[in-house]
Structure 1
Amino acid sequence: MAGIYIHIPFCRQACHYCNFHFSTSRGLENEFLNSLLAEIPLQQGFLAGETVETVYFGGGTPSLLDAESLNMILRALRENFSIHPNAEFTLEANPDDINRVSLQSWKDAGINRLSIGIQSFYEEDLRWMNRAHTATQAIDNLKLALEFFPNITIDLIYGSPGLTDEKWASNVQRVIEMGIPHISCYALTVEPKTALESMIRTHKREPVVPEDQARQFIQLMEWLKAAGYDHYEISNFALPGKRSKHNSAYWEGKKYLGLGPSAHSYDGANRQWNIANNALYIQALKNGTVPFEQETLTPVQRLNEYIMTSLRTMEGMSLEIVKRLSDASTASQLRKFSERLIREGLMNEVDDHLILTQQGKLFADGIAADLFRDEPE
């Protein structure tokens, strides 16, 4: 089974913290759509005929698409790929794009899961982030969305200046009380070349405090565990049976095809990524070519990717899979190295799996980097 990701590179306005590829000018939207529809058949062979079990519209802001455009894309996917009859179709949506008409049109098109970018239920936080929606829209339109889509995930951001522990608790408690089945939570990251980075550097915004982020992450883990959510990946929590199939495929190393500018793809051995420029993407597709770069992963790179992604999950890193990707000696070395992490309370070994503890999850990236293997000389 495989997945397809479609990148819609347009937004109504730019969030201060965002470093994804997008444009707030929608002048090229029609040409982009034609180019995307041209790319789909050109990429038909990438998944080698595997059945597609997840389709994910990300961005940018996919909820800006009109109903006709969305249907055209989905029709082209179904014509060129084998789509599982029970496939998960996810659409990222901003609260300000949600109304009864849009919800019904998405449902009619075949979307069966929404990912809603709430980020906060507090007006001052949304203004601070430069989000396009209001707190009232976040609350009211999330309730409305639940009438149409029982399978919903929302995004929340923690660790931002001004987000007190009390406000953070209120945000999470609201999600629990509403019965949202899936929640993705991210520490505010100050990415280079973003408006937020510039404002912090010029002292127009307060800097992020790592200690506050760590504390609020620990609080989050405790609150959602008590509410019955599985912490199945570092940033993702789900009620039983409500995990994201699409994102889980990334962490499990399954094949996926990325369509649209800046979209990434993986076929099990190679990674490729489309050019992150709307005009150049459109021009290349007019000439009948997909503008991408590609790299072939070495066995060590594939192992290191497995180490990184598996440690982010609640199942952890399987030493048996390490043996298959490398050899028994490498698995033994990783187990030996992990003894110190186990003594320090950062990791447990359960049934031949190395699993990060709650404290270890605070240092997941660093721990993974310490476990990475070097390329042979």
Structure 2
Amino acid sequence: MGVVAVLAIAGLLILSGLYVTKYLPPRARVLTVEDHSYQARQIADRAVYLAFFEGSVSGIGDIAREILDHVIEEEALRRVGATTVDAVTPADIERELNLDLGLIEDDPSPTATPEATATADPSATAEGTATAEATGTAEATADPTAEATIDPQAFADALTTFLRNTGLSRAEYEAIIEARLYRQRLRDHFKAEVGSSGVQVRLQRIRVSTQLAADQTIAALEAGGDFALLADEQSVATEDGEGGEIGWTAGVLQSDDVQAAIADLEPGQWTAPITSGLFFEIYLVAEVAEDRAYETAIVTSLTRVRLDDWLATTIASLDVDEDLSADEESWINDRVLADVTSRLGG
């Protein structure tokens, strides 16, 4: 084989490698929900938006699969949300968009949303508060309930700046808004279902590191030992209160194992040791109330459980195809990290 032929083959291999590593990943289809497909680039752009402008991701280094899950949830909300709550209309989306751009106020003393910071300096963080100059915020009217008149040019300028900074198209951002509104409406719907009171149980806990220690604790309880004293002496659950106090809670907020273990217990009875990760836990049912007023945190948690259950059921009913290769995942993670680092001045 001649030198020219060898060089030609080498060149083809180099070009093929560049095509596979640089051209294919951003254009590769990595997710399809029903009839809507997403390319790796779209997932990366969505990740940058969520990480930088909403601060709603758990980490940057391994973000690709987390964002896929987030996008699938958004698809479920948009596709099925209207079967449970009022449908989101184009007018609803337009109003929310104007709120995000800072062109109207939601109440007499509004707080800038994380999204509004995207209209300011691209190096600003989600914690930053967008200024009136950066967002083009209209002057507040005397009547906060009056319909705001939006200057078309101000809207166009603010939207152009916003989309440039986020890297999203208007259609992509309006889809995010639609899903956000459905999530809010479903949360309100399930909060109303939860109500203000219900069955609750007050729990105490002893957490130990070995099965032997758990067995010895059970033996001490059966011999008449005081649960609270044993908790103070032996429990390694530093987050619990004095005497192993967990406090009032709804049973559904506990793990499946704990729910099953306490389901038939009377006040003053305790569970057998329950394995929890590397630990062993014993629960005491201290009190039971058939209709006790919920604390705010319990209402929030019960609402979240219902919304999570709704999402899980809805997603299971959709045709979802995840096709994210290791190379594509790496490309998304690297791009997001580079983009966010650049925006932060790194």
Whose relative contact order is higher, 1 or 2, with alpha carbons under 8 Å and at least 6 apart?
2
With normalisation by structure 2, the TM-score equals 0.24
User: Which structure dedicates a bigger proportion of its chain to strand?
Assistant: 1
User: Which structure dedicates a bigger proportion of its chain to helix?
Assistant: 2
Q: Looking at CA atoms only, which structure, 1 or 2, has the larger radius of gyration?
A: 2
With normalisation by structure 1, the TM-score equals 0.22
